[in-house]
Amino acid sequence: MSDMNPLTEKVRVVRWRMSNEKLRFSEELRIIPGWAYGLAILLLVGIEIVVPIMRARHAHPMPLAALIVVMVLVGILFVALGLLIGYVNRDAKRRGMNATLWTIMVILIPNAIGYILYFLVREPLVFNCPQCGGAVSARFNFCPKCKYNLHPACPECKNAVRTEDRYCPNCAHDLSADRPAGERPLTPVTPGAPA
């Protein structure tokens, strides 16, 4: 596959990510570390103290009903902010990115631009090889440990197929006959989980 141009290569990685990186919200919540919940509570308490003080110092303080609405909204915002910091930290780590650098960047760059940057440039998830369990990236064609083909193609029509397909979606060729036994589905590597 060395004749591939960089654009084809990029498109292929994006397509692979779209079919394999199915991130479920509930599962993504689980990677948020405990300290991020602590941070979220600290931010929440802090901002709920600051908002009434700012109101009291204002020459024309807003009505109480408006104050409550503002407090609820900034409260939600700051809790989300604390949890997102923890999420970026863990997510960067499991993608093999510099977790400390990205955590500092999302905190320091104003107007959520750090977060936008992060979600635009984050690396593909690292997966466990279906054959040997070693760590593999979407950028790999083959597993570096066991030579497992990470971008399998149908032997009949040469169209790309997914690891979990039993039949080729294009020509209905039975793919299970060509599969090595003991193959597991592609699963993302989670930090802290046993390999």
Q: How far is the CB of 194 from Zn ion (least distance, A)?
A: 17
- How far apart are alpha carbons 175 and 58 in whole angstroms? 71
186 binds Zn ion (CB under 5 A): no
Of 191, 97, 179, nearest in space to 130 by CA:
179
Strand ranges inside 46-89, DSSP E: none
Q: Which candidate, 179, 190, 194, 195, places its Cα nearest to that of 28?
A: 190
The binder of Zn ion chosen from 16, 102, 115, 148 (CB under 5 A): 148
Least distance from C-beta 42 to Zn ion, angstroms? 43
Which position among 13, 132, 135, 160 is part of the footprint of Zn ion (CB under 5 A)? Answer: 132
Alpha-carbon gap, residue 125 to 87, rounded angstroms: 14
Q: How far is the CB of 17 from Zn ion (least distance, A)?
A: 19
Residue with tokens 């609405």: 69
- Quick one: which of 8, 19, 100, 170 contacts Zn ion (CB under 5 A)? 170
Residues forming the site for Zn ion (CB under 5 A): 129, 131-132, 134, 143, 145-146, 148, 154, 156-157, 168, 170-171, 173
